[in-house]
Amino acid sequence: MPNMSGKVALITGANSGIGRATAEAFAAKGVLVSLAARREDELANLAARIQAQGGTATYVRTDVSVAKDVEHMVAHTIDTFGHVDYAINNAGIEGRFAGITDLNEEDWDQVLDINLKGTFLGMKYQARSMLAGGRGGAIVNVGSINSLFGFPTGSAYAAAKHGLVGLTSSVSAELAPQGIRVNIVCPGFIDTPMHRRLRGIVGDEVYEKAVFPRVHARRAGRPEEIAQAIVFLCSDEASYITGATLTSDGGYTSTF
């Protein structure tokens, strides 16, 4: 893979799961990482871990559903490192699952605000900084296999994740002519805290009998495996890939 040392990556939802693994993967390649999430103590611990391993990291507490927070997140990264080369919009929540007749507006708004509006706000300010810097760049949004299909009681989550595909395609069409590539990664069942919470709700038996038999790899993915896909999409090896939806799910969706 081409040398990425000295580049700058901004990662939301960096405190755990895929975001954390992505930050560590970038740092291992000499990329300067800016970590953003709501839980500041976890960000501080991750930044310290990266620095102890010889990397360079900063962090900023951010609620991606709040425009001022997102604008500050980008400004903090530029103030610290001078520019942004790669932006990873990974922050997301599962929210409350409920049937459409029982789902309330507050639950709907929370999921859409973080999972969809948060990515819109991220790209708005990330793109502004990249365009102003004149260096080009790469943006990777993190969707889900539920960007491709829904499931009972998951209307808010699936709607937000579906929206990310259209958002990614549209913004790619705007920015690619100006040297900024925009793609989306759609992970399957990945062993993250969110996945473990969902598995606890659904039950291990359902996963073992109904879910994993449809996964060609017959296992959950690792956060590090998604992180490597994200790093690849940011690299020069992916220089002709933009507006793409990369599904990393162990073969699950190909069974539909």
Catalytic site residue from 59, 86, 157, 252:
157
Instruction: State yes or no: is 207 an active-site residue.
Output: no
Contact 226, 18 (CB under 8 A): yes
- Residue 43 CA to residue 21 CA, distance in Å, equals 13
Place of tokens 């900084």: 129
**DSSP readout, 14-79?**
TTSHHHHHHHHHHHHTT-EEEEEES-HHHHHHHHHHHHHTT--EEEEE--TTSHHHHHHHHHHHHH
Q: Which residue type sits at 172?
A: S
What is the sign, positive or negative, of the torsion defined by CA atoms of 164, 170, 174, 177?
A: positive
User: Helix 40-52 vs helix 17-28: angle between axes, to the nearest 10 degrees?
Assistant: 30
Sequence-distant (6+) residues with CB within 8 A of 255 are: 214, 216
The catalytic residues are 157
